[in-house]
Structure 1
Amino acid sequence: MATSSTASPQSAVLHRSLRSSPLTVTSANRHTLNFSDGGSMLDSTCGAAVSCIGYGNKRVRDAMMAQLDKFAYVNSMFFSTPIYEELAAELIRGTEGKMARALMMCSGSEAMEAALKMARQYFVEKGELKRSKFIARESSYHGTTLGSLGVSGHVGRRALFEGTGMLGANVGRVSACYAYRGMKEGMTEEQYVQMLADELDRKFEEMDPGTVCAFIAEPVVGAALGCVPAVPGYFKAMKAVCDKHGALLILDEVMSGMGRCGTLHEWQQEGVVPDIQTLAKGLGGGYVPVAAIMINHKVEDALSAGTGAFAHGHTYQGHPVSCAGALEVQRIIREENLVANVARLGVIFGDLLHQALDSHPCVGDVRGKGLFWGVEFVADKKTKEPFSRAKNVANAVHHVGLHRYGISLYPGMGTKDGILGDVVLICPAYNSTEDEIRHIVKKVKQTVDWTFKDLENNDSSLFRAQPASRL
């Protein structure tokens, strides 16, 4: 387990917090991180749901080195590369041909920026020049750049820029599909879906349907709410509303996609095909900084019939070494049937988490799918009232897990109203075994039990103010 930080207080790095030094990782193997102070941690969240095949994979290393031996970089304004073509073909193949083209970048935020620009250009190509607005959901997170943050509904991450004009004013918001807090007592899932579809329809009318480019949503809400899947039928209903008003559907699978939820793309479980999709974390498995957008045939046809070019670009898009790493990660996932393993273990993982935590007086909800699960904590199970921010519960659970039990629990806050509401995410690697999953659940239960035992004993040391996770 981790002990204490040994990073120098004179560090030249602009860390996420300047008030405390983070633990220093010196090596990693399979699913374990090792620290400079001799401690270690089972990475039960794959970082931020990134390291999906674990650490130290020789196949990925060799693929990257082979590309380096050929060349490391070319200018994508003028040149393509075989490895870029291979990766794009692999991604399109994974959609069974339902998507048409892929563009590689370096981060999920970059991918969302590109998706927004692509949606706007689609309508410009079609001559619908008034379309420049977007509809997104409350309690969502789509990236940290100003454009991607502008369509996000994450209160904490937007706060510094609210009211400045920096985030823009062309975004309308609707409710998240969040059954635990959104479904009224006695309401069926079908009625809940209809209520949300009606809300989206009204938002289109309020904003003038002819001015809206797209509706944006995460199929499973990640950092903002903590692994909240949509109820059955939700995305079919939302797609129908988008089609009614001639708008596109953008699905953000940066965190929930590339096998994390038990299918390669989460939308393959929803019976819809997005017009534009973003993906990132599981794409390169942490071996390289890489992300992508994919467009479907309708969007490709509009570009091909118009200017024939996407008015967008990055210096490092389609970077050959990143493409080599990501392609090998995807080949490993496919060849080792890891998505099927995620689906199989996900059922076991969910059942074990429910058995271990549902009866805990401070656990309000356990939710997720595949190997993407969240646990929400409440002060009162009946009213679902969250803890006060002063209790700092999510960070306390993270702290206890890391320093006492040697596991990673990804903390998040704001599940009720953007400020109050504590949750932790648990996102094991795709190549985990059933024994490892059972071990993780045991450690999670121990962590939760210990944390709230200390809370009852008023041990404020565990609940001291710590910087909130901004991953």
Structure 2
Amino acid sequence: MSATATSAVLHRSLHINFPRIVGGEGNYVILEDERRILDASGGAAVACIGHGNTRVHDAIVAQLKQISYCSTSFYTTDVCEKLCQELVGSTHGIMKRAYIVNSGSEAMEAAMKLARQYYLEKDPPEPSRMRFIARENSYHGITLGALSVSGHAMRREKFEPMLLGCVSRVSRCFPFRDKHVHETDSAYVARLADELDQEFQRVGAETVCAFVAEPIVGAALGCVPFVPGYMKAMRDVCDKHGALFILDEVMCGMGRSGTYHAWEQEDNAAPDIQTLGKCLGGGYQPIAGMLASKRVMEAFEKGTGTFVHGQTYQGHPVACAAALEVQKIIREENLLQNVSDMGGLLSARLKDLLTGHPNVGDIRGSGLFWGIEFVADKTQNNKPFPSSSGVASGIAELGLTKPYCIAVYPGSGTADGVNGDHIIISPPYNISPADVETIATTVQRLVIDYFASKNA
């Protein structure tokens, strides 16, 4: 039966009856039929401390009793100030101010506008800078500005006529599919850096605001980390041409990849502007943010002092209270160390159990952020499944059924923006070795059974 017949919700699909969640406890979500689903993906890599944390609940209630809404045109709140101090303080003095919004897409919209206005505020101003360079097969959000810098073909297809024309793209950093045979990491990085440099020259370096990239590509490619040296090389090209370096850490940041910020994994690769989101609030409230560096903020301080951008619910006190408590828990419980330790164990177990499967092409990631890419034929240059096969979504749907009862996050268009499939494994930061073993062995059984049923 179509969900249209039973629901008033404009769901993501009108042809699916979505199962209803009635509760959540720790690493599990509970459905109305009493199935307990191991949330091995944290939704979309969001639930970083699991579900039902009473400390966060109490922080939300306490803030509700104090004040639930703040009109940021006129006021600020203690909880927003504290959260922004927490975020700025995590960047080793590189970032100066934080801007709190409600979603990753909103954060990217703010980042694009901040970058443009920076060149109007700086002395001397550079009003000709209005372009952005991004990457193929990237994803930075679903609103029109964020989608314009995204390079994911399927997400863009229906809206191409409406998207901004001031964005161009260069190659992704994806060694599994794009690195040449016998090409070293340094040679691959040099090739990508040269391509970016040439793109600046092609469009006119004096017209470019920023280069935009995810350090570890999440939904679009399935947890593809940057090659060593890549981030610094991209930063250097931006510096050469006087452009800003924007990093999208909405999915891979806030500890998900094993360091608080993914850019910390490479020296001299810090961004001028950074977006963050999912693991900021761990799903307890809608919240995301943007961080701006000293360089950017000093131009505003010496200029108009006004960022011409604003939203009704920015800096929402209840969302800030939830996020602040989540970040305190991560710090006080030393969860970043656990992300690193359990991430290493999860990586090893997934590779032990699945590398030999004929339809598993690659297992990659960092911290507790792992992707498994599926291929139709390893012997034919890791030939991807066509989009019509629906492999990733099929695996995810099967995972919710018994006996698996596990949630993984599906992605498609992995190979070329249209074809190819992957799933993401991104469990909570506080998982144990026993949890890792359960996740790895269940995913192994799920993958084996799915392909066995298709090949039967």
Paired residues of 2:232 and 2:266 also in contact (CA < 8 A): yes
Paired residues of 1:347 and 1:370 also in contact (CA < 8 A): yes
* Structure 2 residue identity aligned to 1:95: T
Q: Which residue of structure 2 lines up, in the alignment, with residue 260 of structure 1?
A: 256
Map 1:59-208; keep pairs closer than 5 Å.
59-126=55-122, 127-162=125-160, 164=161, 166-208=162-204
Q: Which residue of structure 1 lines up, in the alignment, with residue 455 of structure 2?
A: 456
Q: Which residue of structure 1 lines up, in the alignment, with residue 427 of structure 2?
A: 428
Q: Tell me how far 1:397 sits from its aligned partner.
A: 1.1
Paired residues of 1:87 and 1:323 also in contact (CA < 8 A): yes
Deviation per CA, 1:96-152: give whole Å up to 9, x if none.
Answer: 221110010000000000000000000011210000000000010000000000000
Q: Tell me how far 1:403 sits from its aligned partner.
A: 1.2
Q: Tell me how far 1:387 sits from its aligned partner.
A: 1.5
**Residue 20 of structure 1: SS of its match in structure 2?**
coil
Give the alignment partner of residue 42 of structure 1, picking from 23, 38, 60. Answer: 38
* Structure 1 residue identity aligned to 2:425: I
Unpaired segments of 5 or more residues in structure 1? 458-471
In angstroms, what is the RMSD of aligned CA positions? 1.2
Q: Tell me how far 1:8 sits from its aligned partner.
A: 8.4
Residues 123 and 316 of structure 1, relative CA distance in 2, 3 Å threshold: same
* Structure 1 residue identity aligned to 2:159: F
Aligned counterparts of 1:7 and 1:40: Cα–Cα separation in 2? 22
Q: Which residue of structure 2 lines up, in the alignment, with residue 411 of structure 1?
A: 410
Q: Which residue of structure 1 lines up, in the alignment, with residue 322 of structure 2?
A: 325
Q: Tell me how far 1:390 sits from its aligned partner.
A: 3.0
**Residue 145 of structure 2: SS of its match in structure 1?**
helix
Q: Tell me how far 1:94 sits from its aligned partner.
A: 1.1
Q: Does the alignment pair 1:229 with 2:228? A: no
Q: Tell me how far 1:9 sits from its aligned partner.
A: 3.2
**Residue 277 of structure 1: SS of its match in structure 2?**
strand
Q: Which moved more, 1:191-200 or 1:390-399?
A: 390-399
Q: Tell me how far 1:10 sits from its aligned partner.
A: 2.4
Q: Which moved more, 1:344-353 or 1:233-242?
A: 344-353
Deviation per CA, 1:323-355: give whole Å up to 9, x if none.
Answer: 100000000000000111101111111111111
Deviation per CA, 1:179-204: give whole Å up to 9, x if none.
Answer: 00010001000000000000000000
**Residue 373 of structure 1: SS of its match in structure 2?**
strand
Deviation per CA, 1:60-85: give whole Å up to 9, x if none.
Answer: 01111111111111210011111111
Q: Tell me how far 1:217 sits from its aligned partner.
A: 0.2
Using structure 1 for the length normalisation, give the TM-score.
0.94
Deviation per CA, 1:278-333: give whole Å up to 9, x if none.
Answer: 00000000000001000010001110010011111111111111110000000000
Q: Which residue of structure 1 lines up, in the alignment, with residue 374 of structure 2?
A: 377
Paired residues of 1:398 and 1:410 also in contact (CA < 8 A): yes
Q: Tell me how far 1:364 sits from its aligned partner.
A: 0.5
Q: Which residue of structure 1 lines up, in the alignment, with residue 362 of structure 2?
A: 365
Residues 199 and 450 of structure 1, relative CA distance in 2, 3 Å threshold: same
**Residue 411 of structure 1: SS of its match in structure 2?**
strand
Paired residues of 1:400 and 1:451 also in contact (CA < 8 A): yes
Question: How many pairs does the alignment contain?
Answer: 451
Q: Tell me how far 1:7 sits from its aligned partner.
A: 7.2
Q: Which moved more, 1:221-230 or 1:400-409?
A: 400-409
Runs of 4+ with >3 A deviation: 5-9
Q: Tell me how far 1:388 sits from its aligned partner.
A: 2.4
Deviation per CA, 1:158-193: give whole Å up to 9, x if none.
Answer: 01111x1x1111001001100000100010000000
Q: Which moved more, 1:403-412 or 1:110-119?
A: 403-412
Paired residues of 1:225 and 1:415 also in contact (CA < 8 A): yes
Give the alignment partner of residue 32 of structure 1, picking from 23, 28, 33. Answer: 28
Aligned counterparts of 1:324 and 1:393: Cα–Cα separation in 2? 39
Aligned counterparts of 1:209 and 1:243: Cα–Cα separation in 2? 11
Using structure 2 for the length normalisation, give the TM-score.
0.97
Give the alignment partner of residue 396 of structure 1, picking from 390, 394, 397. Answer: 394
Paired residues of 1:276 and 1:295 also in contact (CA < 8 A): yes
Aligned counterparts of 2:369 and 2:110: Cα–Cα separation in 1? 26
Deviation per CA, 1:380-407: give whole Å up to 9, x if none.
Answer: 1131101223322111111221113100
